[in-house]
Chain A
């Protein structure tokens, strides 16, 4: 599991800024070219009849299906159910990981008691637990939420642990000489010091949560984006299947963007290196 390495970025002397940003803009545009060409080629191939609609419908057809389902309100219902499962699983798995990771990171006793079993459990691919989980919690909602919680647990646990362990002991000492007690040290030194790692853990956890959701929703779901896809497969509605994939991708992208934004807002002190 990755940890955050806090190397202060060297202050780079400002070069010829306008020229550099122009080159940067040109490069950004160039990077858009190949995806656009791929989508256009896909569309053209579908329209020319090279791709049968049963195998891969045109992107325009997928979007039209999406618009139809959204208008009917069907999409919203399934989306809300999927989001609820993801949020609930994240909350349970992430909350538990935060508590256990903090206990193991802060206390020697916690480290000795909590860390060994977690390290052992980490070796299990949590998606491989589906058969066992079906026996334990059934095939209902709890299966989906449990899978998401399991997926979210490990990244948050390890990054909480590493974030706390990576805090400079000398800063804690300085805080002590300033008269800060354990609670105040936790608030002013440990929490802000571990925050970059916590953000990283959360980003990885959200990625794992979507992945777990995709797998979980293919097991006897009655609602959700995954159910939409499985149902569509039975009726060979390939456009709905592709739409489901698109929605999963968008969910992942949007959550990552939102989190990066929150990270930038919260960790301004790290940007401070470049601000002046």
Chain B
């Protein structure tokens, strides 16, 4: 799980061209172009029903009926809004799902330790709290050493305090492993705190692209953050006074 070298940063880990998806007569995605550089975190922001989760599912290869093309250079792993752990497998077996070869057990233990759950490997998913289960889901993605982490509102179902801790965890893991990430969220603040770049999905296309330069560990009371937040909320149609 070594961090990638700086030279990798020039190569995109994901390129998508003219990705479109319709459900019946409803056009959800009308041609989305998207490039994610190696090690870059991109937040995908949009109102509910804007198609941001649909886009993520397409990029994860879970939607066979989408048109357009997307190429992944490397491997991807997904963390969903719900933890989606198999209730009949213990935590370690859930993390190890689909992995083969020698040293899997050690890798699983390491991934669980990284999310702070080294001692919960023998637990059943039903015995975990919501935050713990979501951390296991992060470990399950992490253990695959992905080049790109696809996150579909991963902290949306958690309480506010747990969500803040999870955001911190994600920032730390990204700094250590250097994976790229696509974060689907409806939380403007979360997008700004975690991403290098925020994309706004509206009307089935990327309507706006906002680079975020707040440094590696932005503080929630940074004035630059306030300005960006106001701009994005305006764009989303939420009045800010």
Tell me the A residues contacting B by CB distance below 8 Å. 8, 170-171, 173-180, 184, 188-189, 192-193, 195, 267-270, 272-273, 275-276
Contact = CB atoms under 8 A, between A and B. Distances in A.
Contact of A188 (B80, B89, B140): B89
A124 B85 CA distance: 42
Given A173-B84, A174-B85, 15 more contacts: A171-B84, A171-B86, A175-B98, A177-B77, A178-B98, A178-B140, A184-B98, A188-B97, A192-B89, A195-B88, A269-B124, A272-B123, A272-B126, A273-B124, A276-B123
A8 to B, nearest CB: 6
Interface in B142-170: 144
Chain B facing A: main interface SS: loop
A122 to B, nearest CB: 30
B161 to A, nearest CB: 21
Nearest to B97: A178
B48 to A, nearest CB: 18
Contact of A269 (B82, B88, B97, B98): B88
B98 A179 contact: yes
Nearest to A177: B78
Contacts of A176: 61-62
A273 B140 contact: no
Contacts of B87: 269-270
A197 to B, nearest CB: 13
> Helix, strand, loop or mixed for chain A's interface?
helix
Contact of B84 (A8, A174, A184, A193): A174
Given A175-B98, A184-B98, A192-B86, A269 B126 contact: yes
B234 interface: no
Given A173-B62, A188-B89, A275-B127, A180 B84 contact: no
Contacts of A193: 88
Contact of B86 (A179, A189, A275): A189
A180 B82 contact: no
B78 A276 contact: no
